[in-house]
Structure 1
Amino acid sequence: REAASPEQQARIYSDILAGHRIGNAGPERHGRAITHVTTQLTRVNGRLELSGQRYYSTGSIFAHWIPTRAIDDAGRPVLAWVRRDAPGVQVVDDWDGFGQRTTASGTVIFEAAPVEEELLIDLVPLASRPGLGGPHSQIIQAAIDAGIAAGAIDAALDFVRTKTRAWPFTVAAATDDPYIIGEIGRLQLDLHAAEEVLARAARTLDRVAAAPITAESSAEASVAVAEAKILTTEIALEASERLLELAGSSATREQYNLGRFWRDARVHTLHDPVRWKYHLLGNYTLNGVLPPRHQWN
């Protein structure tokens, strides 16, 4: 929406509306910076070919299209849309993280994979034009974390009500334990606070998108989403950890699979380091420094 031409948008959107799925070919493993790109788009005998290896390729196994960033012959950043079933495309199901197991975030290998000229998006203009690509990407991640937190709290409520035994010589039922009651109240409060800040960030994105986007309004959107990302990260980790503590030892049995909440929260919240969100907020509030514009802000 922000970088493609109207013709490219019409082509891609029509496929999406027809049920085609978009995967992802994420960052490369080599290089000290996450933005380091060696995947190369080369013109060979008049045909565009893509070569390189990408990792953290969420959803690529189930996709029809796998868009990926690359560098063209002139050293310019581009986004190439490649068919999942195109010759030279190999999707390897080697994601072995202990959480987010069904995201299929493995490896994608391009070996002289053909790229249609009409499906090559120039990313250079994005560097100088304020937009909402980063905030949109980030609010999706924050919403996922909020969902994990809500699921963990629901699971805790169900387990405590139906299976958790009271600690000896204290109360008759776990639901009467004043410390469990207090912890549940605190978790619920923190979840509602995170959800409200998340909703406020979404409203900020809608408002900013409804007007011409400036550097200042783009920064406002990034800051609003950063606040939500911090709170949803914290409640996802806290709720998924407290779930097991409140539910008790039996909750760790494999048959209940309650550890999935913590595993998913711990892995997904590493999508980008939340410590830099605090820095972003502080630098913006104290020094008026606008956040850098990229897909993690």
Structure 2
Amino acid sequence: MTVHESIKAPAGVPGVPRPATPAHVIASDAEAIAVAHKVAAEIVKGASERDLNRSLPLAELDLYSQSGLWGINVPKRFGGAEVSYKTLVKVIEIISAADPSIGQITQNHLGIVAAIRTVSDEAQQAQLFGEVLKGVRFGNAFSEFGSKRAADFETSFVDAGDHVVVTGKKFYSSGAILAHLVPIVATDDQGRAWYVIADRDAEGLTVINDWSAFGQRTTFSGTVIIDNVKVPKSHVVPGYKGYEKPSADGAIFQIIQVAVDTGIAKAALDDTIAFVKSKSRPWIDSGLDKASDDPYTIQAVGRLSIRLHAAQALLYQAAEAIDDALIDATAEKVAWAQVVTAEAKVLSTEIAIEATNVLFELAGTRSTLAEHNLDRHWRNARTHTLHDPVRWKYAIVGNYVLNDVKPPFHAWS
């Protein structure tokens, strides 16, 4: 059996067409926030049903990417808004509170845009950023299911003149199923990792709908098979350069994950409050007429709100540190952006899990009925917070504070 025969897979899901009309181009930070609220108001409507049915959110993604929000970190000199990362994480948080799967799908797209800014030459930036501003969506074919460590890649490419040929297998491929272009992390003959950006419908590229996780169900983060896929060299991005010297690229990939989790926590807290006010009954011994007057419930909601606001404050502080590192990427500023992002990851993980768990304690047994599907919040939080283990974030922060050791420098830190 040849290598190529060994990676044959069942028929995948067909790709989706590129937008028929150019996306809106957002002009400012304020507009980005306003548009995010409008998009969120639409995608929240079917979020529970999509979770229950594992429905492909094609219409929702089209609305989202055509709104211009997928181009907000394109630099101004290429026609983008180049919003601050404080604005960008607020956008992700707003979208994720409406549907965290859709919020997560954006993560790798925006991370790739940031990486292109760091490592690509002028011509490649102009070409790829032009595609993004038209509404083209990047997917993700980064991680590999069977490798020893997350940063170990067996997928590779060979030079074939005016193009390269890529072969491998990926998993956790969030967004690839409904993408227009699929960045594949693949190594060259020197072991360096590149983003090889293939057309979604390229011959030999198969995206399989086999994502079976109990949470974040509609990210469709399943398998991508890459069997002798041809990619023009104009779409081969030297990702490894982003980690040859200090850059904010790793922190950017991380901070978007944080914003997804604070969005999940906010949605859970909002649903807790709404349920307690409208459906929950006061406890028999309270002597109260309304569950919302229960002093223990009031105290618990206050605790959750404070902890959410603390996580958000660290999220925004981390975003400001990233903005600072983008202006002046010294080793010290990049390390500080990584550290504050790690701190925010710890708090966002804790409040996402706590808020989605305490929801049922405060709302009562009625809140567990299938018709409400409130368990999706906990399932989403428990699944998404497994990205980049928090126990290692504590160690990163502690080693920095105690021993002046800078965080490891890669896409997971």
Equivalent of 1:69 in 185, 190, 201: 185
Given that residues 43 and 73 in structure 1 are in contact (C-alpha distance below 8 angstroms), is that contact kept between their aligned partners in structure 2? no
Q: What's 1:32 paired with? A: 148
In 2, distance between residues paired with 1:115 and 1:20?
17
Equivalent of 1:3 in 119, 126, 131: 119
More helix by share: 2
More strand by share: 1
Per-residue CA deviation, residues 6-29 of structure 1 (Å, 9 max, x unaligned), is 111111111111111110013111
In 2, distance between residues paired with 1:126 and 1:169?
61
Equivalent of 2:405 in 284, 289, 295: 289
Match of 2:168, SS?
Answer: strand
Cα offset for 1:44? 4.7
Cα offset for 1:167? 1.3
Given that residues 321 and 333 in structure 2 are in contact (C-alpha distance below 8 angstroms), is that contact kept between their aligned partners in structure 1? no
1:206 aligns with 2:323: yes
Gaps of 5+ in 2: 1-116
Percent same amino acid among aligned pairs? 44
Shift in alpha-carbon separation, 1:173–1:123, aligned structure 2, 3 A:
closer
Given that residues 324 and 333 in structure 2 are in contact (C-alpha distance below 8 angstroms), is that contact kept between their aligned partners in structure 1? no
Equivalent of 1:51 in 167, 190, 212: 167
1:187 aligns with 2:304: yes
Q: What's 2:205 paired with? A: 89
1:114 aligns with 2:230: yes
Q: TM-score, normalised by structure 2?
A: 0.70
1:280 aligns with 2:400: no
Q: What's 2:369 paired with? A: 253
Look up the equivalent residue of 2:142 and give its one-letter code: G
Cα offset for 1:224? 1.1
Q: What's 1:174 paired with? A: 291
Look up the equivalent residue of 2:403 and give its one-letter code: N
Given that residues 38 and 70 in structure 1 are in contact (C-alpha distance below 8 angstroms), is that contact kept between their aligned partners in structure 2? yes
Cα offset for 1:51? 0.7
In 2, distance between residues paired with 1:86 and 1:242?
46
Cα offset for 1:115? 1.0
In 2, distance between residues paired with 1:124 and 1:184?
45
1:265 aligns with 2:381: yes
Q: Which sits farther off after the overlay, 67-76 or 110-119? A: 67-76
Per-residue CA deviation, residues 62-101 of structure 1 (Å, 9 max, x unaligned), is 1011001111233332221111011111000110100001
Match of 2:184, SS?
Answer: strand
Q: Which sits farther off after the overlay, 169-178 or 257-266? A: 169-178
Match of 1:31, SS?
Answer: coil
Per-residue CA deviation, residues 23-73 of structure 1 (Å, 9 max, x unaligned), is 001311112211110001023577521111000000001101100111123
In 2, distance between residues paired with 1:287 and 1:130?
20
Equivalent of 1:101 in 217, 240, 260: 217
In 1, distance between residues paired with 2:134 and 2:161?
33
Match of 1:51, SS?
Answer: strand
Given that residues 162 and 233 in structure 2 are in contact (C-alpha distance below 8 angstroms), is that contact kept between their aligned partners in structure 1? no
Match of 2:379, SS?
Answer: helix
Equivalent of 1:141 in 245, 253, 257: 257
In 1, distance between residues paired with 2:157 and 2:297?
57
Gaps of 5+ in 1: none
1:18 aligns with 2:134: yes
In 1, distance between residues paired with 2:197 and 2:394?
34
Look up the equivalent residue of 1:250 and give its one-letter code: R
1:160 aligns with 2:276: yes
Per-residue CA deviation, residues 96-146 of structure 1 (Å, 9 max, x unaligned), is 100001111111111100011111122343332110011111110001100
Given that residues 321 and 337 in structure 2 are in contact (C-alpha distance below 8 angstroms), is that contact kept between their aligned partners in structure 1? yes
Q: Which sits farther off after the overlay, 101-110 or 121-130? A: 121-130
In 1, distance between residues paired with 2:216 and 2:226?
24
Q: What's 2:314 paired with? A: 197
In 1, distance between residues paired with 2:162 and 2:118?
28
Q: Which sits farther off after the overlay, 44-53 or 94-103? A: 44-53
Match of 1:203, SS?
Answer: helix
In 2, distance between residues paired with 1:23 and 1:2?
19
Q: What's 1:234 paired with? A: 350
Per-residue CA deviation, residues 237-263 of structure 1 (Å, 9 max, x unaligned), is 000000111101110111101001100
Given that residues 345 and 390 in structure 2 are in contact (C-alpha distance below 8 angstroms), is that contact kept between their aligned partners in structure 1? yes
Per-residue CA deviation, residues 155-191 of structure 1 (Å, 9 max, x unaligned), is 0000000000111132222112111111001101111
Look up the equivalent residue of 2:238 and give its one-letter code: D
Q: TM-score, normalised by structure 1?
A: 0.97
In 2, distance between residues paired with 1:237 and 1:32?
28
Match of 1:81, SS?
Answer: strand
In 1, distance between residues paired with 2:142 and 2:193?
14
